Amino acid sequence: MKRVLAFILVLSMVLGSVGMVFAGSFEDITDKDVAQAVDRLSLLGILEGYPDGTFKPENTITRAEFAAVAVRAKGLKDAADASEGLMTGFTDVPAGHWASGYINIATKLGLVNGMGDGTYAPEAPITYEQAVTLIVRTLGYEPSAQTKGGYPYGYLIVANEIELLDGVTGVQGAPASRGIVAQITDNALEIAKMIQVGFGTDAKYVVSGSKEHGDEAKPQYLLNDLGVDEVIGDLYETFRLEKSTLKKNEVKIAGLPDSANKYVKYKVTDDVDVDALLGIGITAWAKDDVIFATKIGYREKIGKVVYSFSEEQVKYDEFSKSSKKDVSLVVLDDDYDFARGAVVYVNNVKVAAGAGAVEGAWGRVILDEDDDIDFAYLFKFDAGNSGIVTGIDKDDIEYVNLGATEDVLALDKAKNVYVFNNDLSRAELDDIEEETAIFYWVDKDKSKDDYYIVINDEIVEGNLDAVRVSDSRVTVDGINVSKADDAIFSDDGMKDFKVWEDYSEVKECVDEDVIVYKNLADEAIALVTDAKAKSSTIYGVATWMTDARKPVLTVYTVEGKEIDYKFADTGDVPGAKPQSGEGYRVVGFKLNKDGDIAKGEFSYIDEEITFSKNDKDKFATDGSGNKYYLTKDTVILKALNSKGKVKPSVIKYDDIIKKKIDANNSAIIKTVKDKGNDLAVVVFIDKEFDAVDTDEYGLVLASPAKVGKDYKVEIDIAGEGKGDYVLEDVNVEDVKKGALIKFAFNHKDEVSIEKIVYSVEKTGSTISEKAGNYLTIGGTKYRATDDTVYYETDKKGKLDGTTRLSKIGKGDRVVILANDKDELQVVVVVTAYKGEDVVEPVKGEKVEAVTKVRDNVWITIGNVDYLFSGSYEEAKVYEGKRVEFRFREIDGDKVITSIKIVDDEPGGDTEDQAKADAVKDKISALPAVANLKLEDKAAVEAARAAYNALTAAQKALVPNLAALEAAEAKIADLEGEEPEEITAKLIITENVLIKKFLVTIRLSDETLNDKVTGFIIDGTDYLVKEIRADGRVLADAILSAEPNEVIVVVDGVEITAVK
């Protein structure tokens, strides 16, 4: 192996012990890049958050605070502490100022100069250019900035050149926010410093590690100044590789061949992309064996040997053929040998170098100093698993594969979905968009498949200059591109694709604008143009033509707008003009390359038929029974609006194909030449005609508002989301905020409301049985279909969003809408809504009886039975007493919602009653006795304290003392119970204690208490809540049922605990 691996640790730790911080530690940071920057700086003690756990990235930072940041970034915090209390030389920074030490050090290093008048302005917000200047000086680039103009432009120029401002958006003259300075400082950590070499007249400034620095010189970084561990070596293993025992946040790095630590395992922070580094030589920085920053490449001299790795050794290519000795790479366009001992992985499985398994595979290739292949991490994509994305939602990716067939990648069938960029760096599902090229393979060695998707946005766009069949390439705006073996093309703007087998098939597209989509080997896999659309016939409704010498024809087309066209030959101008007679004409024509109506290619279309159609048919019939077929290419328009005025509109194919059309509708049509009775265009000419889509359901988010002549309303449509829509012929008074409506769109996307499905006055019916997709309600069994939509309400009865069938069960109360086949169209779950109170409480009525029937408690008042939600014992307190109460109607029953005893005679002590009622409410607020947990103890004690504070007369007015006593007894029982013991079976022996499902552990070695970082209970992660004085560690979890499995995370090791 020609590539030698180096591993070095720099052990001088000048920072105090800092716990590991992972990305997203500060919840108020929404920008991912800022979050990662802040996490690293926080870890290194350079820039901290606020005591309340926030960072406040939009806040400004003072000049004193940023001087401290710069000094800490240079690893000089101790020096600053030693200088604290000394005179600074600035009149406004006294020796006692908190930042005097930092400002002293920054001044001595030439990082700051003050304001020029003897002051420093420590409390003034630092501006963007001042912050940039300070960090440029911290990195040693002051000489370079001065040669480029000095402050401020010279520093800004240098900052851009050294990539200090990557990802940073700042405004010159404006205060720099904490988020901006965090990004600038974090970028600086991995930029090689400028240093002085030589002395006197030989002195010069060079970038450390550059050729000017010396052949064996190493780059010097601020991270080196901070004294963290520097790790140099090759990252050779991640969790993805077959047989690896690593976790997702772990890697292994190879050290020197003769090192005792040849293979060392490290943890990594969330923002370290291990996929982007597999097989690559890196310089990394770690704290407490956790890598938090990396850079590709290293150069290290050990003895007389120099070990190095550069980014130029990393290639991404496809293997076109292989043999035992060498392979051909497509992009590099050359043959290569495998190095001795080369390591090769295909789809995460290690294969023999040179084996046929690599042929057709693509991925990362590492070359050694002899240009032999030393390492390869490759993916092989199955046939059909590559193509161009045409649509995407949360569950599916629709794409056209390289066989020109529409296909779907069902994401919900995957256990994990991993997305990569074309350099195998980490990407997200959100990065996949329409017209992205995708390539994927499926790991079927799991209980549920893992998807590996690589995306590529590389395209060439412009004029197709040439198609060179003999040279096997196409030329687009001067750029040559070769076609892949498997490729497709579309000449109608991606409506239809064909297999692209030969270069000559796209010769007709020369001089047209095209987009060429590339595969991962830089070859063309798709060529798209709209040349066919431009050369095909345009159909539309002509609404006007000018009387000029060169007439202009105005035509409403399928694009949904009027477009003006000129005639290339005035001899084609028709005599009958649209502005006379009917006021419109249906036309068809072709364009020349100048965009004018081509000579001899214009005609009026006048064939009129009666147009009728059944709702499931894709064809229509005329009065004679002739069939005319609608296709997705058919241009479908309506000429008149509902008032009979010429106002054309587009009708969608998907709308009309589902609609039944009666025979009393007229249309002007033209069929496609040489395609039988396929319709090229159909224009409906009756004002009453309307093509309406199928029924929709949606939630009205705001009351209608008048906009111009229309009323608009915001609707959240089930399965589609929010949008603003125009109401058609609707009484706007009936459309209220919070209503669930059944409606349809007309062909102009206007809303026609058919029914108000739900309003807050409805309390629903109870589901008595649920079996699969069937719900039994009121004795009728209804079936839920794929088209059923589900909503739920809040406690006040207001619609609170959508839900799903799996969350609905027996006992839920629902409002439903069903068809005549008992198929559910809409289900509104109103379980949370308890109905409306009677407006006025019922006062002065005497409780005649309290009875218990099965599990229900009834209170009889005024010969009416009311359902009571408390216990029988609590209800008995009211028997024979005069009470004041409220109730609600729920499922036909009157349910008491509040009740209190009132005096038998007028004139009682209302103050005593008020105090007694307050205690009664405290007791009523306690959980039911059966549901009490130890953490409810404080609430029980508070209720007892409130009761004890009452006078004897007031205590007599508290009706539910028995409930308090029962709660106290239950708490006493809980405290007296012996906890169940669960013994860990891995790594070390320890006890995991579960007391009424409140999880604690007592480790056999209590010195490990601080190393417990969390619990995994039945697959859910919980953090440590507290470490008790008795040595037990408490989980941040209250469980409603005994867990089946508890895993304790001790020092990063998961220990499974079982009974």
Per cent of the chain over pLDDT 90 is 31
DSSP conformational letter for 17:
P
Inform me whether the pLDDT recorded for 983 exceeds 60.
no
The tokens for 513 are: 């604008």
pTM over 0.85, yes/no: no
Nearest C-alpha neighbor of 360 from the set 379, 334, 386: 379
Query: For residues 556 and 683, what is the distance between their CA atoms, to the nearest angstrom?
Result: 11
Inform me whether the pLDDT recorded for 364 exceeds 60.
yes
Inform me whether the pLDDT recorded for 424 exceeds 90.
yes
Inform me whether the pLDDT recorded for 852 exceeds 70.
yes
Mean pLDDT of the chain, nearest integer: 81
Strand, coil or helix: 614: coil
Q: Sign (positive/negative) of CA torsion 99, 101, 105, 107? A: positive
First to last CA, the chain: 51
Among the listed ranges 422-426, 584-588, 613-617, which one has the minimum average pLDDT value? 613-617
Inform me whether the pLDDT recorded for 882 exceeds 60.
yes
Inform me whether the pLDDT recorded for 477 exceeds 60.
yes
Residue found under tokens 């009453």? 688
From the centroid of its chain, how far is CA 85?
50
| Residue 344 to residues 205, 265, 378, 423, Cα–Cα distance (Å) | 43, 21, 8, 17
Nearest C-alpha neighbor of 154 from the set 129, 191, 173, 121: 129
pLDDT band, very low/low/confident/very high, at 581 (cuts 50, 70, 90)? very low
DSSP element (H, E) containing 131: helix 128-138
* pLDDT tens by residue, 597-626: 988 999 999 999 988 888 777 888 888 888
Inform me whether the pLDDT recorded for 8 exceeds 60.
no
Q: How many residues does the chain have?
A: 1059
| Residue 677 to residues 261, 627, 672, 673, 829, Cα–Cα distance (Å) | 78, 7, 7, 9, 50
Q: What is the 3-state secondary structure (H, E, C) of 899-943?
A: EEECCCCCCCCHHHHHHHHHHHHHHHCCCCHHHCCHHHHHHHHHH
What is the reported pLDDT for 835? 56
Query: For residues 109 and 355, what is the distance between their CA atoms, to the nearest angstrom?
Result: 59
Cα torsion for 817, 822, 825, 826, to the nearest 10°? 40
Query: For residues 376 and 279, what is the distance between their CA atoms, to the nearest angstrom?
Result: 7
Residue found under tokens 């990557």? 166
What is the reported pLDDT for 273? 93
In the sheet that 437-443 helps form, which strands lie side by side, from edge to edge? 406-410, 396-401, 386-392, 437-443, 450-456, 416-420, 426-427
Cα torsion for 390, 394, 396, 401, to the nearest 10°? 40
* pLDDT tens by residue, 758-786: 555 556 788 888 887 889 987 888 988 87
The tokens for 133 are: 């200047």
* pLDDT tens by residue, 281-333: 998 888 888 898 888 988 877 777 778 899 999 999 999 876 666 789 999 99
Q: Give 856 or 67, the one with higher predicted confidence.
A: 67
What is the reported pLDDT for 16? 30
| Residue 47 to residues 38, 56, 74, 1052, Cα–Cα distance (Å) | 7, 12, 13, 26
Q: Give 835 or 993, the one with higher predicted confidence.
A: 835
What is the average per-residue pLDDT within 90-116?
Answer: 91
Query: For residues 526 and 380, what is the distance between their CA atoms, to the nearest angstrom?
Result: 20
Inform me whether the pLDDT recorded for 356 exceeds 80.
no
587 contacts 604 by C-beta, under 8 angstroms: yes
Q: Give 51 or 996, the one with higher predicted confidence.
A: 51
Residue found under tokens 């020109």? 404
Q: Is the peptide bond before 152 cis (omega within 30 degrees of 0)?
A: yes
Nearest C-alpha neighbor of 23 from the set 13, 15, 34: 34
713 contacts 739 by C-beta, under 8 angstroms: no
CATH T-level assignment (fold) for domain 694-757:
OB fold (Dihydrolipoamide Acetyltransferase, E2P) (2.40.50)
814 contacts 828 by C-beta, under 8 angstroms: yes
What is the reported pLDDT for 672? 86
Q: Which residues of 880-918 are buried (b: 16+ CB within 10 A; e: fewer)?
A: ebbbebebbebeeebbbbebbbbeeeeeeeeebbebbbe
pLDDT band, very low/low/confident/very high, at 747 (cuts 50, 70, 90)? low
